[in-house]
């Protein structure tokens, strides 16, 4: 493993001296991450073109071209989160994806998007941008299929699980959140290579929306958008807060109320201390945290930050109680904890609380 010398100043009774200390890659990374948290985001010089994000944006454009959408290539910019400002045919991409060090910080807080997820978000936001570029939401047929664009937008919506009137793309039955999201999700499924939407949604109510998308794309693919350029909301050059301030602000505590987990967790993680195959249950949960959070958020419709906080609290409680998992029964433990957490999440979605008193 390669190392780099770091000069360290030491103070002695006889005076100062300087010596070189070699740090391994992990130590160097920790120093970089601490230093970067004190820097203003706008001073980091982040760009899409100079980062790995460039290839994802280019892939999006190629997918649009394959669908014969040649006049619509939405401008992408770095922002504080994924988004498409209402009415503006542009796509905001989280700034942390433009830097390996920032991506490491994000991974420790919110679970970093992988390549598949980045493209899923890009296709979804491209759906919003396409809608705004051609002002489809103002047309009678769009309103008939998707609903009123003026409907109130609520973050805490209550979806109907497994409804066949909506496509499935992002986690949490996201198409049911608002007519604008319904269209963006329909666009994303239609655009995704190999989605097989004609076969998959053949007998669903959502097929009418997909067929509309396919037809309208053929009609407008070679026509200049009504609104060719959009105005970004928050750009990376305008983000004056430091990296540390950004993460302190976005990692505010999620209130879970009083969760009495002790008895249930002891039943789930009941391995004996005497068995050589026993290991801390917290390690097993941490290893599979992202996949468990992903699936619970996808199937229940609970907001991802809430689910992630729930799993983190469960992790902390297993450590506090000193609970153990049997390595020979990992599948059983994971199945039980996933079903358990899913039941809590569904309680929250249906009633607004994890546990009813």
- The ranges assigned to domains in the chain are 4-36, 53-237, 262-351
Average pLDDT of the residues in 239-260: 76
For residue 74, give the nearest of 99, 48, 100 by alpha carbon: 48
**Which pLDDT belongs to residue 267?**
93
Under DSSP, is residue 19 helix (H, G, I), strand (E, B) or coil? strand
| Mean pLDDT for all residues in the chain | 88
**Residue 210: pLDDT band with limits 50, 70, 90:** very high
Please state, in angstroms and rounded to a whole number, the distance separating the CA atoms of residues 208 and 91. 26
Residue 184 makes CB contacts below 8 A (sequence gap 6+) with 84, 124, 125, 127, 128, 131
Please state, in angstroms and rounded to a whole number, the distance separating the CA atoms of residues 289 and 304. 12
Q: Provide the percentage of residues in the chain whose pLDDT is more than 90.
A: 62
How many other CB atoms are found less than 10 A from the CB of residue 190? 23
φ, ψ for residue 273 (rounded to 5)? -65, -20
What does pTM read for this prediction?
Answer: 0.81
Please state, in angstroms and rounded to a whole number, the distance separating the CA atoms of residues 86 and 107. 28
**Which pLDDT belongs to residue 161?**
86
Average pLDDT of the residues in 327-354: 89
**Which pLDDT belongs to residue 251?**
57
User: What is the DSSP code string of 37-54?
Assistant: TTSBGGGS---STTSTHH
Average pLDDT of the residues in 198-224: 97
Q: Choose the weakest-confidence range: 115-119, 125-129, 196-200, 267-271.
A: 267-271
pLDDT tens digits, 169-196: 998 899 999 999 999 999 999 999 999 9
20 secondary structure, DSSP code: E
**Which pLDDT belongs to residue 31?**
78
Say yes or no to pLDDT of 136 above 90: yes
Beta bridge partners of 6: 21
User: Tokens 């991802």 — which residue?
Assistant: 304
**Which pLDDT belongs to residue 195?**
96
For residue 271, give the nearest of 283, 261, 286, 287 by alpha carbon: 283
């Amino acid at each position: 493993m390669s190392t780099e010398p770091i000069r360290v100043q030491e103070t002695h009774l006889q005076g100062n001296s300087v010596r070189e200390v070699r740090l391994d890659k992990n130590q160097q990374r920790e120093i970089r991450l601490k230093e970067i948290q004190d820097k203003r985001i706008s001073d980091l010089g982040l760009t899409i073109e100079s980062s790995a994000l460039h290839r994802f944006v280019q892939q999006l454009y190629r997918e649009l071209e394959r669908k014969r959408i040649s006049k619509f290539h939405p401008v992408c910019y770095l922002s504080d989160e994924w988004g498409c400002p209402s009415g503006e045919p542009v796509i905001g991409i989280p700034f942390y994806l433009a830097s390996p060090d920032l991506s490491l910080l994000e991974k420790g807080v919110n679970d970093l998007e992988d390549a598949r997820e980045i493209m899923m978000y890009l296709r979804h936001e491209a759906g919003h941008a396409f809608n705004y570029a051609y002002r489809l939401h103002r047309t009678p047929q769009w309103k008939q299929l998707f609903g009123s664009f003026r409907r109130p937008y609520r973050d805490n919506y209550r979806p109907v699980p497994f409804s066949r009137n909506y496509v499935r793309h992002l986690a949490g039955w996201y198409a049911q959140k608002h007519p604008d999201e319904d269209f963006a999700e329909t666009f994303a499924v239609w655009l995704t290579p190999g989605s097989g939407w004609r076969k998959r949604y053949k007998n669903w109510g959502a097929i009418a929306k997909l067929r509309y998308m396919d037809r309208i794309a053929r009609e407008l693919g070679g026509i200049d958008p009504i609104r060719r350029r959009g105005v970004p909301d928050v750009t990376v050059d305008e983000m004056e807060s430091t990296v540390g301030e950004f993460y302190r602000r976005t990692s505010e505590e999620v209130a879970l109320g009083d969760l009495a987990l002790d008895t249930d967790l002891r039943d789930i993680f009941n391995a004996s201390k005497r068995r050589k195959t026993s290991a801390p249950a917290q390690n097993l949960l941490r290893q599979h945290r992202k996949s468990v959070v992903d699936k619970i958020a996808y199937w229940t419709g609970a907001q991802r930050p809430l689910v992630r906080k729930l799993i983190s609290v469960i992790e902390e409680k297993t450590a506090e109680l000193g609970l153990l998992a049997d390595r020979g029964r990992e599948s059983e433990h994971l199945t039980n904890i996933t079903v358990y957490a899913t039941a809590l999440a569904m309680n929250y979605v249906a009633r607004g609380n994890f546990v009813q008193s």
